[in-house]
Amino acid sequence: MKRIISAILIFGILCSAMYVSAVDAGEVRVVIGDDLTEAEIARVYGDFQLERGTVRELTVSNEDEYALLGNSLDSSVIGTVACSCVYIRVLPEGSGCKVERHNIAWCTEDMYKSALATAGINDVSVVISAPFEVSGTAALVGIYKAYEDMTGTLLSADAKSVSVEELLLTGELAEQFGSFDASLIVESLKGALEYTATLTDEELKERIAEIADEYHVTLNDSQIQQLLTLCRQMEKLDELKLREKVEEIRETVEHLREMKAKADELQEKARGWRSKLKEAGEEIFSVYRDVASWLDQNSDKLNRIWADIQALFVKD
């Protein structure tokens, strides 16, 4: 769970970018965990495919982590060292979001992109890396630092909070239902933001249950309440920007549905292959059993035939 929370938190920071000024394409930053050795830093730059010194580099310390996250995250999650690192590059308009991870466990690319849609941020390439598997909270703070450094604007505290809550909840649902279904549920809920504010809490709960049912998932009361709370938090953000993203969110949902359909198709084929193999095995065993039974029943006859054959070759 520690790895899950930390991996999810990493991208919460990116989602708050909707509240910062525009950044020119090609703008880049690297943020390095303050507790890495020179050899470990070199390994991370290898993941970034960069030569150190060619990109503006910032650092993030464990103290930075506690200053930003200490009031909301347990110390067991934040840890005592800052080891995770990030490389952010702004892409030309229309390029979309690209995500790459090294030694940051569990959270899928689609979950990350979902959070980015919440924030209204597109056209970025983000690489998150550590020389070994870590919690990743240093990278979380590092991405905040990078965006604030690139834009010269402080990020919205509300956007940070909602982004983190979205990914935390998606991660919790993914543990029980799988990342595809968890992402689909959250993305579909976000796609309904254009009218959720007109619904009462009870009506919204019913809609959430209906969305989950579309993916053959049954949510408990606590999960429905968490999704309702998340939806209400999203409604308080920049409504216009969120609504502008509804179509993109729907496209993401369709993409996830297609991926899930392909995964389900492969699973069905695998089940079919296993069934056919089982049937073939049973058939082969049945033939073997019949042959063995026939040989046993006709052993005397076969012995006589064999003796007659041998006699043909015996000379007086």
pLDDT at residue 124 tops 70: yes
Q: What pLDDT was estimated at residue 48?
A: 96
CB atoms near residue 136 (< 10 Å): 32
Q: What pLDDT was estimated at residue 105?
A: 72
Residue 83 is inside which H or E element, if any?
none
Question: Cβ neighbours of residue 311 under 8 Å, at least 6 residues apart?
Answer: none
Query: Contact at 8 Å (CB) between 60 and 138?
Result: yes
Question: Cβ neighbours of residue 69 under 8 Å, at least 6 residues apart?
Answer: 9, 78, 137, 140, 141
Q: What pairing do the DSSP bridges indicate for beta strands 97-102 and 124-129?
A: parallel
Q: What pLDDT was estimated at residue 79?
A: 80
Q: What pLDDT was estimated at residue 98?
A: 85
pLDDT at residue 239 tops 80: no
Residue-wise pLDDT tens digits, 77-111: 678 888 889 898 988 988 888 889 899 876 666 77
pLDDT at residue 72 tops 60: no
Q: Considering the chain, what percentage of its residues have pLDDT values greater than 90?
A: 25
Weakest-pLDDT range from 3-7, 24-28, 159-163, 253-257: 3-7
